[in-house]
Copies of this chain bind each other. A is one copy, B any other.
């Protein structure tokens, strides 16, 4: 944290936002906050991070070190604290709140979301549809549940999973032991079990909720996942009106039932008969909402900033008929050097977002492209073509 930044904020009551985390979500939050006159700084475990391109970064050794996080924030008197990932321990957030910081979403919300088993319980308790789930403390408990629900089942880590890390589909009794070991159950990592949801498509909805309970909801989008990683987002999802209304209602209710403040991403499964289940609630701006930067009147990032600062929320309406986002995922390990941007920019309606990561790794989110168009099909063709143009890594690293 640059002392100078903080002093200025306190003196002039310039609104000031501290983001816990400095990844691409923090970078895009900063891009939305700065034009509205909001000073932004980040806390991260290293200075070389995507948000570090445009905001000062206070480096802390770990998120578990609540004292270090508190010290990083000292001097930023009037700042509002927010976060861009769900990996910050409740204890660290609670320590900030105890010292009088406004933290959105707050530790009470985060506690109900970080532990995915607790999250499922809270959602189910609020009457929301979720796949069948159960705590499992030993691999022996799995087969019994699976016989009742039907194979396959999904074994999941209660905390710290993302992009499929921490998930294992178990197709039969023979796969139980290896899944249990792979997810760290043998080392005492807390796991839980879910019924495999017979979904036909995956949907997502962004919801922004203000501290006074007012909510806005973005269009329902379809997400195309491969290996549990989001590859594409199609906006809007082509759905019967009743289904999309129901998805929007479920998403808002999910955010409400955890007392969420800010923008949340809600992932849903859509069954063959139009049934909906909530898959997961992300307490932050979400990859499935990046298309809102160009496609909606007010992006998920701007609305998050508005919500946590106590400002009125903006319209979530789409300004264009269709938008498709394609993630730029790393394909190799090495430098984050990018090539082909100029080829992507030559395609009409394409917007390129690079996250400025200095290192690339297979599956790592290095950037995304959003293409606008008159139809989802046309926007998708443009976005896919643009994404194909862009490569990360040195030429010598090409495999």
Contact = CB atoms under 8 A, between A and B. Distances in A.
Interface of A: 8, 12-15, 28, 30-31, 34-37, 39, 53-55, 297, 306, 309-312, 314-315, 319-320, 335-338, 341-342, 345-346, 348-349, 351-354, 356, 358, 367, 372
Contact of A37 (B12, B39, B354): B354
A45 to B, nearest CB: 18
Contacts of A320: 319
Indicate the member of A14, A39, A367 with the most B CB atoms within 10 Å: A14
B36 A311 contact: no
A8 B338 CA distance: 13
Nearest to A343: B312
Contacts of A14: 337-338, 356
24 contacts: A12-B337, A12-B358, A14-B337, A14-B338, A14-B356, A31-B31, A31-B35, A34-B54, A34-B356, A35-B351, A36-B341, A36-B353, A36-B354, A37-B354, A37-B367, A39-B53, A54-B54, A306-B345, A311-B342, A312-B342, A314-B345, A315-B348, A319-B320, A319-B372
Contacts of A354: 35-37
Q: How many copies does the complex hold?
A: 2
Contacts of A39: 53
Nearest to A338: B37
Nearest to A28: B35
B13 A337 contact: yes
Contact of A297 (B35, B338, B372): B372
A37 B314 contact: no
Nearest to A355: B37
Contacts of A367: 37
Given A37-B341, A319-B319, 8 more contacts: A12-B337, A30-B54, A34-B53, A34-B54, A35-B352, A37-B354, A297-B372, A312-B346
Contacts of A55: 54
A48 to B, nearest CB: 9
Nearest to A32: B31
7 residue pairs, one from A and one from B, having the closest CB atoms: A37-B354, A54-B54, A312-B346, A311-B342, A12-B337, A35-B353, A312-B345
Contacts of A36: 341, 345, 352-354
